[in-house]
Structure 1
Amino acid sequence: MDDRAVRILAICGSEREGGNTDLALGHAGELVRARGAEFEVLHLRDHRISPCSPCGDCNSRAAACELRDDMPGIVARMRAADGLIYATPVHGFGLAHLMQIFIERAGVGYLRFDRPLANKVGGVLVTGRRYSEGSVHNQLVDNLLLNRMILVGSGFPALLRNTAPEPALDDREGLDALERMVHRMLDMCLLLRRNGGEYPDDPLPSYDRNERVSRRGLPV
């Protein structure tokens, strides 16, 4: 069995350094490292990610996006991880803009051709005051499923609330959900690694790598 440490990469869509999302990911990192795995946070605020341009050829092109920004390097780090956590605050009753731009550019510009995140373990963390956390969580879950990732069931979704003006981790139920999600992700990563050699067939057939191609290999 592969004896390297399991790697979890968190994609943080918060613009605020030291905010609730950062605190929650810090707690997740402690849990991951306590089990001997590696944990890294990629802060989107530290990277240059261009919004999708008006080129309009996303549905017809056969190669990755040609916009020059940090996305290729980010995607490379995602591909190297065993598990991915998408973490974001709620802004304006919806997805924080950094995370929205990220999933658009990553999905349309880079991930839709071969679905390189297929069978990686995915988790979602959402922080907010009291409104729309579920809607934001659902959007990110849909994105993980679109990319053929494995979403672990861990009880209640990891939604952390804080109505105080200062960042804090006071939501005991939210923290319990986050802890369960983290441990389930690690368990699933280890299970997949232990059993990876028993399945000679590609778990993601060629006809399922791109939803624009039918099962017969023809464009749809």
Structure 2
Amino acid sequence: MKGQHAEGRRPVVLGISGSERAGGNTDLALAHAGALVELRDAEFRTVALRDHRISPCSPCGDCNYRADPCALPDAMPQIVEEMKRADGIIYATPVHGFGLAHLMQIFIERAGVGFLRFERPLANKVGGIIVTGRRYSEASVHNQLVDNLLLNRMILVGSGFPALLRSTSREPALTDTEGLEAVERMVHRMLDMILLLRRHEDVTGEAVLPLDDRNERVVRERTH
């Protein structure tokens, strides 16, 4: 299956970096994943959250009641459109203070509450996660992002060990051999799944996993 896809329909994988540090281990790991994607004749795009103005959620309090995306003026609409255009999305983030780096935390909050909850536009896209850290809490951060992918009805492929990369060096360097192997398996499994989903849709004309409850709030309102 590797390297095979419908002509004129190159798979697109979007990497989202939640690191404040340009050129750090998170960026290096995402670049490594991107190189693997391109070796499969797919397209890799990157969004570095640090390069965009993303407002934290405001105290307006109407998130559970309004029917339209958030109106706060920042870069979120453009980033969400990039996510919609991708076939697969890789979240890459470092561990900060034993938890999710604040850029990624603000991003997933604003994206989920402000934009993605209305129609679940990421449903059936293939998701991947890369977490970089020094020694602790990588698994906890990974689990939080897994929950976010599942919330958005994305497809998380099994690829052996999670792509957790550790380094205690002061200088950025990808020295975790097992972590890099996990990244490689994850990338190939993501692309294999993207191609499988496309092949099914090309043959049948239907999505593999059709959804009839894009907005669970609307479903709840209809049933009460």
Is residue 2:26 matched to residue 1:14?
no
What RMSD over aligned residues (CA atoms) do the two structures have, in Å? Answer: 1.5
CA contact (8 A) 2:197 2:207 kept: no
Q: Quick one: distance in 2 between partners of 1:29 and 1:80?
A: 17
CA contact (8 A) 2:19 2:48 kept: yes
Q: Give the structure 2 partner of residue 155 of structure 1.
A: 160
Is residue 2:202 matched to residue 1:203?
no
SS of the counterpart of 1:191? helix
Aligned length: 218
Q: Give the structure 2 partner of residue 37 of structure 1.
A: 42
Q: Give the structure 2 partner of residue 143 of structure 1.
A: 148
Q: TM-score, normalised by structure 2?
A: 0.93
Is residue 2:134 matched to residue 1:129?
yes
> Relative to structure 1, is the Cα distance of residues 173 and 99 closer, same or farther in structure 2, using a 3 angstrom cutoff?
same
* 1:1-220 map, 5 Å: 1=6, 3-197=8-202, 198=204, 200=206, 203-206=209-212, 208-214=213-219, 218=222
CA contact (8 A) 2:201 2:207 kept: no
Q: Quick one: distance in 2 between partners of 1:163 and 1:58?
A: 41
Percent pairwise identity: 72
> What is the deviation of 1:199?
5.3
Q: Quick one: distance in 2 between partners of 1:155 and 1:87?
A: 18
CA contact (8 A) 1:212 1:219 kept: no
Q: Quick one: distance in 2 between partners of 1:11 and 1:204?
A: 26
Q: TM-score, normalised by structure 1?
A: 0.95
Which ranges in structure 2 are unaligned for 5 or more consecutive residues?
1-5
Q: Quick one: distance in 1 between partners of 2:67 and 2:127?
A: 26
Q: Quick one: distance in 1 between partners of 2:66 and 2:137?
A: 35
Which ranges in structure 1 are unaligned for 5 or more consecutive residues?
none
> What is the deviation of 1:121?
0.3
Could you give the per-residue CA deviations for residues 105-156 of structure 1, whole angstroms, max 9, x where no partner exists? 0000000000000000000100000100000000000000000000000000
Q: Quick one: distance in 2 between partners of 1:55 and 1:71?
A: 17
